[in-house]
Amino acid sequence: MELDKQSTVKTYNNKTYYCPISLAMDLVGGKWKGVILHYLLSGEKRFSELKTIIPEITDMTLSIQLKKLEEDGLITRTVFGDKPPLKVLYRLTPQGERIRPALEQLCLWALTL
């Protein structure tokens, strides 16, 4: 695949990227973002549900990664109630949903290793 160098310059969230892979990796790279997105592909989840299905992640790391994914527009956080215990649900945004094919292909690739 050959891309025109001019067409690869992209600004997203007030940051300029000169390679589309740099942008993609900034949004979903790292140890946990892709894993969180993978589990949200099946539908909205509470923090405790994500913690249960990703037992290796610490509460602090999960909280930080969820905030980053929300800031980047890939997930939404919906709070129900106004007194503790609050019910908070995380789900993919339409933008986050667009990563589904890439994550599915990564899963298939990993299963062949």
Q: What is the pLDDT of residues 7-61, one digit of tens each?
A: 678 898 889 999 889 999 999 999 999 999 999 999 999 999 999 999 999 999 9
Domain count, the chain: 1
Whether 45 maps to a domain, the answer reads yes
- DSSP character at residue 99: T
Whether 103 maps to a domain, the answer reads yes
CATH of the domain at 90: 1.10.10.10
Whether 23 maps to a domain, the answer reads no
CA-CA distance, 12 to 103, in Å (whole number)?
21
- The model's pTM: 0.88
Compute how many other C-beta atoms are within 10 angstroms of the C-beta atom of residue 74: 22
Between the alpha carbon of residue 20 and those of residues 33, 75, 96, the distances in Å are 18, 20, 16
pLDDT at 3 over 70: no
pLDDT at 6 over 60: no
Find the domain containing 38 and state its range.
31-111
- DSSP character at residue 74: S
